[in-house]
Amino acid sequence: MQLSKMSGKPNGRRVRAASAAVLSAGVVSLALSAPASGASPRNAGRAEVVHGTTKSVTYVSDVGGLNDHGYNQYTYLGVKAGAIANHIPYHVIQTQDPSQYVQNITTAAQQSGLVILSGFSMGDALQAVSKRFPHVDFVILDYSYSPPLKNVAGDVFDAQESSYLGGIVAAGISKTHTIGFVGGVDESTLQAFLAGYEAGALAEYPGTHIKVEWTGSFTNEQAGKAAGQAEIAAGADVVYTAAGASGIGGIDAAQAAHVWAIGVDADQNYLAPKTVVTSVIKELSTVAEDNISQYVHGSWKSGTHTYDLANHGVGLAPFHGLASAVPAQVKKKLAAAMKAISTGKIVVPVKPKYPNGR
């Protein structure tokens, strides 16, 4: 599926460029005031009556909150931007604990015709709830069903492809030839991040050593920091933090030790501008915004939609002020790898060869 069908080109850069002001102006206050379940404390946009019904969208976050500097936050920004652009109200339900998944998805379906969910963890709950609301359209990120559900879009990201690029950068700038991976929950979606990262690193420098730590959580910054510190103590001078909000701790560890970090899901350079050399991104905001546009204009479709390097659904964030830290030959290899992956000449694995590091 091509991103931004309504406009013909991806909107991710535009959404991210507008994000900085929103981060300080709205996300934190909403995160503090939104209930764990039930209706949003506020709506934005104007109700638009289409074919006799008022359309609206509800976003259900996963645990971690709207200010996780990644997955939840940037999906929320896309929902907000899409609702405002299409003149429909939006609601936000924040999940504080996995036990609330069914309740929160049910509440969302009772109040909106389109429900957008963050993350694979809600897959089972959505399957149960969607059957009770056949006339509601649901979108779940990073999860799909086989066979597909009639009223659910499973939007999945080939993050192993962009992680491969991150691995090239990591191995290409490492002086110790030892790099780290801080993961969240050790399961298949996150293992694909590790698989791509190690494959890219070993393609760049076959002698690269890879340290792997799992936090077991997407919300524990202290665990992420401890994992990053352990890897740095073992010689890693680049740490890739694919652990949601837990990964912020890994970035903190890298910053304190004056080594490089690679962010995840969104451009996280602003968290540590002299440390985060790049980020492995998913166009979360764009995908959320596109789903809303398609819903409003009657072109929304259920089924599995895949976002990859070829359709600009995943990629690397700019190097910003750290471009000089990345050697020219590494940048050339990145460009070549991006083309080879996009055309199918390189097929990036989704299962790590060295799940415990090497």
Kindly report, residue by residue over 51-100, the tens digit of the pLDDT: 334 799 999 999 988 988 888 999 999 999 999 999 999 999 999 999 99
Count other Cβ atoms within 10 Å, centred on residue 68.
27
Per-residue model confidence (pLDDT) at position 29: 23
Per-residue model confidence (pLDDT) at position 54: 72
State mean pLDDT over 279-290.
Answer: 96
Distances (CA, A) of 122 to 101, 115, 187: 6, 12, 14
State mean pLDDT over 194-216.
Answer: 98
Token digits of residue 243: 């652990």
Edge-to-edge order in the sheet of strand 178-183: 209-214, 178-183, 238-242, 260-265, 276-282, 314-316
Is residue 280 predicted with pLDDT exceeding 90? Answer: yes
Cα–Cα distance measured from residue 333 to residue 336, given in angstroms and rounded to the nearest whole number:
5
189 Cβ neighbours under 8 A, 6+ residues apart:
120, 142, 159
What band does 10 get if pLDDT is binned at 50, 70 and 90?
A: very low
Whether 158 and 315 have beta carbons less than 8 Å apart is answered as no
Per-residue model confidence (pLDDT) at position 214: 98
State mean pLDDT over 180-197.
Answer: 96
Question: What is the model's pTM?
Answer: 0.84
Question: Before 147, cis peptide (omega within 30)?
Answer: yes
What percentage of the chain exceeds 90 in pLDDT? 81
Whether 95 and 121 have beta carbons less than 8 Å apart is answered as no
Whether 87 and 55 have beta carbons less than 8 Å apart is answered as no
Its sign, for the CA torsion 224, 229, 232, 233, is negative
What band does 6 get if pLDDT is binned at 50, 70 and 90?
A: very low
Per-residue model confidence (pLDDT) at position 3: 54
Task: Tell how strand 114-117 and strand 152-157 pair up.
Answer: unpaired
Q: What is the pLDDT of residues 295-347, one digit of tens each?
A: 999 999 999 999 999 999 999 999 999 999 999 999 999 999 999 999 999 99
Cα–Cα distance measured from residue 198 to residue 181, given in angstroms and rounded to the nearest whole number:
9
What band does 257 get if pLDDT is binned at 50, 70 and 90?
A: very high
Per-residue model confidence (pLDDT) at position 67: 86
The rounded Cα 165 to chain-centroid distance in angstroms is 16
Domains of the chain are: 12-157+283-307 (3.40.50.2300), 159-281+327-342 (3.40.50.2300)
Per-residue model confidence (pLDDT) at position 68: 86
The rounded Cα 252 to chain-centroid distance in angstroms is 20
Per-residue model confidence (pLDDT) at position 119: 85
Mean pLDDT computed over every residue of the chain: 87
